[in-house]
Structure 1
């Protein structure tokens, strides 16, 4: 069993922004050399999240709008400090990690599934930790 560890930097340009990071994750998986196993991706922050969904631009904008509307409130207590309570709460609801299957050296995703980074308190640069655990291809 082999373990590979790396990091991905994601830079957002807006306060709430969905960005497709599937290709960056697949590159890290390729670097690992692991053919069969699991990939774990984890955000090192408290005001962003990772989701698995379709990467269609309209849906991505819909998610951004829904998050902004669903978590908007004028009376969050934490807002007295940083004005980002909604971001913390949204991240708590959605979670900050994904575990994905690896088959044949590739992410085993459904037809429309993409790894999406959801920024909730941008613009910022975020660090995502990638761990791949599994078997490398056997040399014959």
Structure 2
């Protein structure tokens, strides 16, 4: 079994932003040479997340709105006494830091409308995410 690791950088331009990273992840899978296996996409940041969904502008706005409504900045969170970003940490917990996608025939097995997003929850910032491709 082969295991190949990649690290990518991304720069957000707003406080809450969905950045489509599907192209970079797909290139990593192809470059890895793995034909059958899995691809893990992971961020080590506690105020960011990885999600899979449709890349449609209205839906991206809906996701951002939902996150803001569920985890309101300045919502009386205890962590805001330390840093004023508790909403970003809580959002990250619920969205999650990683996704796993099957690799079939040397490519990501994504649905027709599925894309992989890096979700910035406390930007703008420079960030990193990691891709591990495993298989044969």
In the superposition, the TM-score normalised over structure 1's length comes to: 0.93
2:119 maps to what in 1?
Answer: 118
1:138 maps to what in 2?
Answer: none
Establish whether residue 62 from structure 1 lines up as the match of residue 34 from structure 2. no
TM-align CA RMSD: 0.9
2:130 maps to what in 1?
Answer: 129
Q: Distance in 2 between matches of 1:63 and 1:74?
A: 19
Q: Distance in 1 between matches of 2:126 and 2:71?
A: 22
1:35 maps to what in 2?
Answer: 35
Structure 1 residue runs of 4 or more that deviate by more than 3 Å after TM superposition = none
Count of residue correspondences: 135
1:22 maps to what in 2?
Answer: 22
Q: Distance in 2 between matches of 1:82 and 1:13?
A: 20
How big is the shift at 1:31? 1.4
Name structure 1 gaps, 5 residues minimum: 136-140
Structure 1 counterpart SS, 2:64: helix
Name structure 2 gaps, 5 residues minimum: none
Structure 2 counterpart SS, 1:117: strand
